[in-house]
Amino acid sequence: MTTALRRLRNYIDGEFRDAADGRTTEVVNPATGEPYATAPLSGAADVDAAMAAAEAAFPAWRDLIPAERQKVLLKIADRFEERAEELIAAESENCGKPIALVRSEEIPPMVDQIRFFAGAARMLEGRSAGEYMDGFTSIIRREPVGVCAQVAPWNYPMMMAVWKFAPALAAGNTVVIKPSDTTPASTVLIAEIIGGVLDELGYSRGVFNVICGDRETGRLMVEHKVPAMASITGSVRAGMQVAESASKDLKRVHLELGGKAPVVVFEDTDIAKAVEDIATAGYFNAGQDCTAATRVLVQESIHDEFVAALAKAASETRTGAVDDEDVLYGPLNNANQLAQVKGFIERLPAHAKIEAGGEQVGEKGYFFAPTVVSGLRQDDEIVQNEVFGPVITVQSFRDEAQALEWANGVEYALASSVWTKDHARAMRMSKGLDFGCVWINTHIPLVAEMPHGGFKKSGYGKDLSAYGFDDYTRIKHVMTSLDG
């Protein structure tokens, strides 16, 4: 007996709709490897409809006083709390994530982030007015950019949707957002929640729209004539494609792409504490995090002791079913990602040594064991390229200069961490590390008030914080003659 698949639909101008041409794609639960839903495979007609709805809703939303937009966002945050269990269930099915961890690690920061940007909505001031030419006064207006085309990733589909729509709506923009084709369920539920709030408060439902689809759908969104801005969280390849497409009509672009975070551990570190925190930060969410602590550089005097302790921590780390409260992470998101992680392990050079893990686990789903690989060199593929899986690599460095050279010696520049009791060394390293974030004696905490974003091939623009809010505004100079 076959179980009927749930039917997900686009959300356009306040209505749930199938794709105009009826095309769909199956959505697979990565914990089982089995499909559980269908979602629209949206084409040009669907993108046109969503962009038209967002464009029509923009003038009225833009012209609201900030306190009104704040009211909407605060109500959305309240609804997220009230419907938390539904969101948790959708995200767990989307991603195979442990239910307890979605409840404790994703819902609270998401609600906090929405409330942060609700406050930011009332901070649209420019610099103070002044006279810079005799007889004239200049003032600065900060305005929303317009319709925003946003593409969210599959590693944190629910939270990344929040990172995108919250600052955009707070600043007065309208939104068309596309979740990944492998993880649309939680974003469709978010559309239901936001649509209900907009209805309740009497605002146009075209302010927020969701389009399901694949890479081609995303391309159609980015190349569409309506959006003034394109924002994507995804791979470097996807970011380059978006930047190229957006350049055709000079759209503003916001890119949060890959990472290869160095974790630099000096010999004066408390090894037990560092290993515990690094293992958690490396394996959480199956290592599917652009900031994951998966590239460790250890000073040679403590290398062997550190590797032994990390391998032991890996062997004690569990992956498994969504309802198991003792697991740290669930499966990789999809079959392609599982194949990619396996490929890195299969192609390891002869000088590399697998200290723990290194294999798929379980009879169903896309689970991969917590893995530690040592003996690596700076130019090895697994050191240079993003694995995006529960694999921690370890290199041995000689001194501070070599550690800094190797830490910066990749094409990514999103996040990093330094582990030492020497304050001066920590300050030198934080200055020298070419990454958008440097943690000291910790790795991976984020707060709404501080920016998240990288350099080099990790992209440009910031999420979270007032800087992330600024990215969704534009600056206008207004000059008036004092002669009347």
Catalytic center residues: 256, 290
Burial class from Cβ neighbours inside 10 Å (0-12, 13-18, 19+) for residue 196 reads middle
The partner residues of 396 in beta bridges, in order of sequence, read 298
Q: Contact at 8 Å (CB) between 8 and 27?
A: yes
Q: Using CA atoms, how far apart are residues 101 and 323, in angstroms rounded to an integer?
A: 10
Query: Which uninterrupted H or E stretch holds 176?
Result: strand 174-178
Q: Using CA atoms, how far apart are residues 368 and 481, in angstroms rounded to an integer?
A: 68
Smallest CA-to-CA distance from 264 within 290, 299, 288 is with 299
Interaxial angle between packed helices 236-247 and 215-223, expressed in degrees from 0 to 180 and rounded to the nearest 10: 30
In order of 234, 257, 293, 322, the CA distances from 218 in angstroms are: 12, 15, 30, 30
DSSP code, position 17:
E
Query: Which uninterrupted H or E stretch holds 393?
Result: strand 391-397
Q: Contact at 8 Å (CB) between 30 and 211?
A: no
| Torsion sign over Cα 249, 255, 257, 263 | positive
User: To 10 degrees, the CA torsion angle through 86, 67, 462, 248?
Assistant: 100
Burial class from Cβ neighbours inside 10 Å (0-12, 13-18, 19+) for residue 248 reads exposed
Q: Contact at 8 Å (CB) between 390 and 319?
A: yes
| Torsion sign over Cα 31, 8, 237, 454 | negative
Two structure tokens written together for 232: 């994507």
> Where do the H-state alpha helices sit in 317-386?
335-346, 381-384
Strand ranges for 188-294 from DSSP E: 208-210, 229-233, 252-256, 262-265
Burial class from Cβ neighbours inside 10 Å (0-12, 13-18, 19+) for residue 97 reads buried
Q: Is 26 helix (H, G, I), strand (E, B) or coil?
A: strand
Q: Is 104 helix (H, G, I), strand (E, B) or coil?
A: helix
